[in-house]
A and B are shown apart, each in its own frame.
Chain A
Amino acid sequence: MSAEREIIVDYLARVEGEGAMYLKLRGDEVLDLKFKIFEPPRLFEAFLRGRRFSEAPDITARICGICPIAYQTSACNAMESAAGVQLTGGLRSLRRLIYCGEWIESHALHVFFLHAPDFLGYESAIAMASDFPEQVAMGLRLKKIGNSIMSLLGGREIHPINIRVGGFYRVPTKGELATLVPDLEWARDAAVATTRWVSGLPFPDFERDYEFVALHHPDEYAIHEGRIVSNRGLDIAVDEWTEHFEESQVSWSNALHARRKGGGSYHLGPMARYSLNSSLLTPTAREAATEAGLGASCTNPFRSIVVRAVEIVFACEEALRLIESYRSPSTPFLEVEPRDVTGHGVSEAPRGTLYHRYAVDSEGFITEAHIIPPTSQNQLSIEEDLRAYVPGRASLPDDQLQWQLEQAIRCYDPCISCATHFLDLTVVRD
């Protein structure tokens, strides 16, 4: 009988937040595996009670410094749907445009700084910079261009100040938006080059049969609006979320685990969006995907880096289209007054679907808040990936096995600050 061994990662690096991993093995057999989130809970859902509905976007933005637009958008969507208001025209374009900025920024950070170093054997992008100076410089500039959209529209890139329920405090002129165009044209081409580069990285041979879940919109690659669909037949309105998904608590994680009701894990994020919506990508993004060898779907989580690069191409191209067709709205925001009602809001954070639900009383105060971040929803899928990855690779030395498992977790671009926060890996061999 082979000996048991443990691999323990106490603090997972290059993720947002505090997570850990524990793995106990006997030979090729996984005896125990836990993906732990030990980020201290900040209890947003509790202290949102008693705040005005209009405060939700600014408060929930503080859940995550990496994807504040996702929080602000899901919160606005929830309050607007509660009041029966929908943004149209220029206001809708601006909401989508600032979200493109967040996708570009967050994906560039992940592709170049958090994920690529794993494939190339570096501990960080900074360590990688002397051997890959062009790529690191390109990643920094792409990230900066994503940030510049958020700064122009939102006032600043982290916790933007210009988003409110119903729209914006001030809307830009077409001329202001036009200043972004030259950089975005460069960024689109750089993202095509990035897709080409990352498609040539060495990927482990590893496929999984996921249930992919993402927003779907009939006319566009969904970001901030649509129905919730899956590749196994789910097709529901946003306000049906609780009928189809449930959360449970496990003792080893400060983030709640989500699963399909009566079912199992599901997978959110770029691979899910791509697999469900790739025919709706913009033309250059579709070409880049084809050239990179992506088919109609992608089921190797390590190749999510390629899908992220394709989504950067898309976000740049979509931003250019939105700027081109932009007409300044007549008013910066619509009046929204939810009263005695529950509202549901969803949007596609860079790392997957983010769900908010609020109950609001007769004076507009929040009486109940429920927020389900993408990383909580991906936890089960992450654990299943790790269990499936180990058999056949258990003979690797601990340090190599540990690094590969860390990399498998980083494929999800986990935002543990969102889910609560921390990655720390322990492998025990018995």
Chain B
Amino acid sequence: MTSPQPKLAVWKFASCDGCQLTLLDAEDHLMDVSGAVEIAYFPEATRGVIEGPYDLSLVEGSITTAQDAARIKEVRRLSDTVVTIGACATAGGIQALRNWGDVDEFLSIVYAHPEYIETLGTSTPISDHVDVDFELRGCPISKHQLLEVIDAFLHRRKPNIPGHSVCVECKLRGTNCVMVAQGTPCMGPITQAGCGAICPAYDRGCYGCFGPAESPNIDSLASWWGHLGISDGDLVRALRTFNAYAPEFREASEAYER
């Protein structure tokens, strides 16, 4: 007998758990979600496991081990739709900083017996390994955008997730530009909206949690940051955080490192 409700699975790879926690943090909507879908696999929330295939798989985390590289292929095979959630899954996460380093050296810094640890030299997004139907950005993702994506896939429509920059959200929120008014370096002009432009509303520059906006003009931002007295080294580190391996940020950080 098949279930009348779509089956939802939530998978974890290398990550902090925060993006899947976002689903449990949707306190006012959690019971609605659990009514609209069958939560078939979600180990953070339940020890019950319903066998696949699954209608919708939410995937958190990046690929950092050979086992995980094989496991994501199995997840893809079992899933009608795969949505990756968060900066780890969509860009490799903060752990992608290893991509510029020597992972053996990194392991020897953390572990006395690096030989016990099996890990790859890189941290890569899920889309480097399998086809992904939709990528939801953020470190962490936005609760509202997550609910929008789940709703969209349940109703077989395109999710309404804008690709414009955080600047648009500041204007909508009525926040003064922190870069113009206070001379605070801000990544808002090159960062995708979605968080609600929280940082400028708290007198802080955006630090890029949602990754590159559509067609970001990073050279222009770099020149503005230069006027504010920010060094190239600081710019490179600002680009190399949670979305460091997103192509636009990666290319720019490598260009300004030279």
Query: Are B18 and A126 neighbours in the complex by a CB distance under 8 Å?
Result: no
Interface size on B, residues (CB 8 A): 63
What is the CA–CA distance of A189 and B83 in the complex, to the nearest angstrom?
40
Q: Does A348 contact B (CB under 8 A)?
A: no
A126/B39 contact (C-beta < 8 A), A46-B105, A62-B139, A159-B140 known: yes
Which A residues lie within 8 Å of B95 (CB)?
42-43, 47
The answer on a CB contact under 8 Å between B17 and A46 is no
Contact in complex: B113, A249 (CB < 8 Å): yes
Partner of B16, one of A65, A168, A249: A65
- Complex: chain A residue closest to B43, CB-CB: A13
A18 at the interface (CB under 8 A from B): yes
A11 lies within 8 A of chain B by Cβ: yes
Q: Point out which of A15, A144, A417 has the most chain B C-beta atoms below 10 A from its C-beta.
A: A417
B203 at the interface (CB under 8 A from A): yes
Residues on the B chain within 8 Å of A126, using CB: 30-31, 34, 39, 45-46
Check B18 against A68 for contact (C-beta < 8 Å): yes
Q: Which of A59, A66, A144, A417 contacts B94 (CB 8 A)?
A: A59
Complex CA gap A83/B233 in Å reads 24
B252 contacts partner chain A, Cβ-Cβ < 8 Å: no
What does the 1/0 interface line of A226-244 toward B look like (CB < 8 Å)? Answer: 0000000000000000000
- Is B199 a contact partner of A124 (Cβ separation < 8 A)? no
A176 beta carbon closer than 8 Å to chain B: no
Is B25 in contact with chain A by the CB < 8 A criterion?
Answer: yes
Instruction: Decide yes or no: A41 and B140 within 8 Å by CB, A46-B110, A66-B18, A170-B202 being known contacts.
Output: no
Contact of B64 among A42, A159, A249, A250 (CB under 8 A): A42
Chain B residues with Cβ below 8 Å from A13 are 43-47
Q: Does A169 contact B (CB under 8 A)?
A: yes
Number of A interface residues in the complex (CB < 8 A): 66
Question: Is there a chain B Cβ closer than 8 Å to A393's Cβ?
Answer: no
A379 to chain B, nearest CB (A): 15
- Whether A17 pairs with B113 at a CB distance below 8 angstroms is no
Give the complex CA separation of A46 and B107 in angstroms.
8
B150 CB to closest chain A CB (Å) equals 15
Which chain A residue has the least Cβ–Cβ distance from B111?
Answer: A249
Residues from 220 to 250 in B contacting A, C-beta threshold 8 Å: 234, 237, 241-242
B19 contacts partner chain A, Cβ-Cβ < 8 Å: yes
Question: Which listed residue (A41, A125, A162, A256) contacts B204, Cβ 8 A?
Answer: A162
Could you tell me the distance between the alpha carbons of A292 and B109 in the complex, rounded to whole angstroms?
46
- The reply to whether A64 and B17 form a contact with Cβ atoms under 8 Å apart is yes
Closest to B234 in A: A52
Are B17 and A169 in contact, with the CB atoms below 8 A? no
Considering only residues 1-47 of chain A, those with a C-beta below 8 Å from chain B are 11-18, 39-47
* A14 contacts B203, C-beta separation under 8 Å: no
Identity of the chain B residue whose Cβ is nearest the Cβ of A68 in the assembled complex: B18
Is A248 on the interface with B (CB-CB < 8 A)? yes
Q: Are B47 and A14 in contact (CB under 8 A)?
A: yes
The yes or no answer to B14 lying at the interface (CB within 8 A) is yes
* Bound-state Cα–Cα, A17 to B39, Å: 18
**Known: A43-B107, A62-B93, A159-B18. Contact between A123 and B113, CB under 8 A?**
no
Given contacts A39-B14, A65-B20, A65-B21, 4 further A-B contacts (CB under 8 A): A46-B106, A140-B30, A144-B27, A251-B116
Q: Would you list 18 pairs from A and B whose C-beta atoms are within 8 A, ordered by A residue?
A: A14-B45, A16-B17, A40-B64, A41-B107, A42-B95, A47-B95, A62-B139, A123-B47, A124-B39, A125-B45, A126-B31, A126-B46, A129-B31, A140-B28, A143-B24, A155-B199, A417-B16, A421-B17
Report, nearest first, the 6 A-B pairs whose CB atoms are least far apart: A65-B18, A124-B46, A13-B47, A123-B48, A46-B106, A47-B97
